[in-house]
Amino acid sequence: MNLPTERWLIDTNVWIFGPRRDERYPDSVTVLEAIGSSVALVPPQVIKELRLNLNDDEMKAFYRLLKNFPEGVQLSWQEAVAEKVQSYRDRGCRKGDAIIASSAEVLAAHLIVSNNRQFLQTINNLPVRILTPSEALLRLPDRS
């Protein structure tokens, strides 16, 4: 069995748009269907944001999805590093985005997958790449 080699921090918006099958973001569905082809990293900030944006049934579905892919999902309760968060804020990130960027470093993510246009355009020269779901999917061996 080949284990996934890339570690993707999947941003909150992908976890929301995918299960809701939002027609504006069809690749969010595909990213979540591809869990296992990469390791999906889920930091505390994503959980906090999901709790604010999903109803109870959607949260249950989220946890069922995580449970179905024990080797393809890494749920982490390790908090972002405050100094790194502030560094990203100083570079123009909103607070939530700065926490996600810092978490990506802490969790050794290869990339952040996000539909957030501001996040995608705010900062350059990160130790981790920020890609849209469609760009991230091109990195999978069977999708290139």
Q: Which pLDDT belongs to residue 102?
A: 92
Three-state DSSP at 123 gives coil
Q: Is residue 14 a part of any domain in this protein?
A: yes
Over 80: is that where the pLDDT of 113 sits? yes
Q: 32: closest CA among 44, 42, 45?
A: 42
The answer to whether 18 touches 34, Cβ cutoff 8 Å, is no
Q: Is residue 142 a part of any domain in this protein?
A: no
CATH at 34: 3.40.50.1010
Q: Is residue 2 a part of any domain in this protein?
A: no
Q: Is residue 143 a part of any domain in this protein?
A: no
Instruction: For Cα atoms 134, 137, 141, give the angle at the middle one, nearest 5 degrees.
Output: 150
Provide the number of structural domains found in the chain. 1
pTM over 0.75: yes
Three-state DSSP at 35 gives strand
Q: Is residue 144 a part of any domain in this protein?
A: no
pLDDT digits (tens, 9 = 90+) for 72-99: 899 999 888 899 999 988 888 888 889 9
The answer to whether 36 touches 72, Cβ cutoff 8 Å, is yes
Q: Is residue 75 a part of any domain in this protein?
A: yes
Over 60: is that where the pLDDT of 5 sits? yes
Query: Can you give the residue range of the structural domain that contains 41?
Result: 7-137
- In this prediction, residue 1 has a pLDDT band, given cuts at 50, 70 and 90, of very low
Q: Is residue 1 a part of any domain in this protein?
A: no
Q: Is residue 95 a part of any domain in this protein?
A: yes
